[in-house]
Amino acid sequence: MRVVVPFDADDPKTRLAPVLGAGERAAFATAMLRDVLETVRAAGHEPEVLSTASAGVDAPVTVDEQPLSPAVNAVLAAHDGPIAVVMADLPLGTPDALARLTESDADVALVPGLGGGTNAFLTRDPTFRVDYHGGSYRKHREQVAASGASLATVDSFWLSLDVDEPGDLAEVLLHGDGHAETWLREAGFELAADGRGLAAHRN
Amino acid sequence: MRVVVPFDADDPKTRLAPVLGAGERAAFATAMLRDVLETVRAAGHEPEVLSTASAGVDAPVTVDEQPLSPAVNAVLAAHDGPIAVVMADLPLGTPDALARLTESDADVALVPGLGGGTNAFLTRDPTFRVDYHGGSYRKHREQVAASGASLATVDSFWLSLDVDEPGDLAEVLLHGDGHAETWLREAGFELAADGRGLAAHRN
């Protein structure tokens, strides 16, 4: 199956600015992208990157300077057959979790993200289009319901954890074992007790 | 399989105090507990509640005034055979997700929670004991590794979402369809756009 991984190569992960400088955010975003590409390959697919600029990773890259939603919709409009789109900031994704998405027999399968986003989807419906702005999971559900296509939701903690905010870094340290987790440790992050449980702190 | 649901009936959900009064927290906690009990039944098991005081729900209740960890460990010590323990603050849990826990063939299967907790587990190892204080998921993993028992991790967003903090309420409004979601709507909570995506706001 065709699996597209959109990537913001220009100013990625701005909400991590309180804890990472601009160059660090770019490096960490690339580490997460590499984890996602390896997971897609381990699940038996060849990933393609859809990037706003050159991405510097070992995968085919298409550059589209448009914002995320029109860039993804341009891919969907030009494609026939099933296609999956997986965000680049899911470093905890596993081949098993991804297989539960790609093996869904629904017309559209969605993976919700923390806070109401859509972290990944599969569509066999050629009319499905994305709108990632503001609570996209609910909007995508409503779109599928209105179209009459069948809908599935994939229940995966690993794929629901998009790493956007400083509070998300603890999950990468706790559960990760790839490039993103290694990058954070080498940058001096470690786990420490905090209000809810564990949080990432930098030395 | 025996499925035990621990419940704090005395002063539940203290971290929701910024948005809910004490009586509201008790009512909301009970609504979440009812959702969990229904999910356990829908998955084919008869739930038992392990509560610090009378719980006022339609299920067998054992009262143990000890803190959570010694209360659960007393149950584990007195039990032979497989047993699952599922937290009471998982209103998004589904029968499918719970089945992935109870059908695991590992000696110990853990469901991680956001922030490093352990939201549910299954044990067939009679020596397994809990320690819920501060990052229990990591401690439980280490305990199982040291014992030589086999370990599985169950990857479920729905079971990983323990509702502890005001920010968690949006997930209940977004994805829930049970008692907890109804309680929040009747209490005036609704979804609105926020930094990450959607957040719960009260009218």
The model's pLDDT over B19-67, given as tens digits with 9 standing for 90+, comes to 999 999 999 999 999 999 999 999 999 999 999 999 989 999 999 999 9
Is residue A152's pLDDT more than 80? yes
Per-residue pLDDT band for A200 (boundaries 50, 70, 90) equals confident
- Does residue A46 surpass a pLDDT of 70? yes
CB contact under 8 A, A116 and B174: yes
To the nearest whole Å, the CA of B68 is away from the closest chain A CA by 15
Q: Tell me the chain A residues in contact with residue B134 when contact means C-beta distances shorter than 8 Å.
A: 193, 197-198
Query: What gap in Å lies between CA B203 and CA B197, rounded to an integer?
Result: 19
* pLDDT at residue A17 tops 90: yes
The confidence band for A195, taking pLDDT boundaries of 50, 70 and 90, is low
| Interface membership of B135 toward A (CB under 8 Å) | yes
Return the higher-pLDDT residue of A43 and B195: A43
Asked if A158 lies within 8 A of B158 by C-beta distance, the reply is no
State mean pLDDT over A161-184.
96
The CA-atom distances, in angstroms, between A44 and each of A37, A133, B1 are: 11, 30, 36
Check whether B14 has a pLDDT greater than 90. yes
Q: Which residue has the tokens 């999950």?
A: A171
Helix or strand run (H / E) with residue B109: strand B108-112
Instruction: Determine the Cα–Cα distance for residues A172 and A16; give it in Å rounded to an integer.
Output: 14
pLDDT at B193: 81
Q: What is the mean pLDDT of chain A?
A: 96
Name the DSSP letter for residue A27.
Answer: H
According to the model, what pLDDT value does residue B195 have? 63
Q: Encode pLDDT of B75-132 as tens digits.
A: 999 999 999 999 999 999 999 999 999 999 999 999 999 999 999 999 999 999 999 9
* Section B149-178 average pLDDT: 97
Directed axis angle between helix A95-102 and helix A22-42, to 10°? Answer: 70
Helix (H/G/I), strand (E/B), else coil: B200: strand
CB pairs under 8 A between A and B: 98
pLDDT of residue A196 exceeding 70? no
What share of chain A in percent tops pLDDT 70?
Answer: 99
Cα–Cα distance measured from residue B177 to residue A121, given in angstroms and rounded to the nearest whole number: 22
CB B13 within 8 Å of CB B162: no
User: Element (H or E) spanning A51, and its range?
Assistant: strand A47-51
Do the Cβ atoms of A196 and B164 come within 8 Å? yes
Residues A107-120: tens digit of each pLDDT: 999 999 999 999 99
pLDDT at residue B196 greater than cutoff 70: no
Amino acid A37: pLDDT: 98
Q: Note the pLDDT tens digit of each residue in A58-103.
A: 999 999 999 999 999 999 999 999 999 999 999 999 999 999 999 9
A164 part of contact set with chain B, CB < 8 Å = yes
Question: Are B90 and B32 spatial neighbours (Cβ–Cβ below 8 Å)?
Answer: yes
**Phi-psi region at A37: left, alpha or beta (left = phi > 0; alpha = psi -120 to 50):** alpha
Query: What distance lies between CA A60 and its chain's CA centroid?
Result: 17
Distances in Å between the alpha carbon of A42 and those of A45, A57, A86, A161? 7, 16, 14, 19
CATH fold, domain B2-162, is: Spore Coat Polysaccharide Biosynthesis Protein SpsA; Chain A (3.90.550)
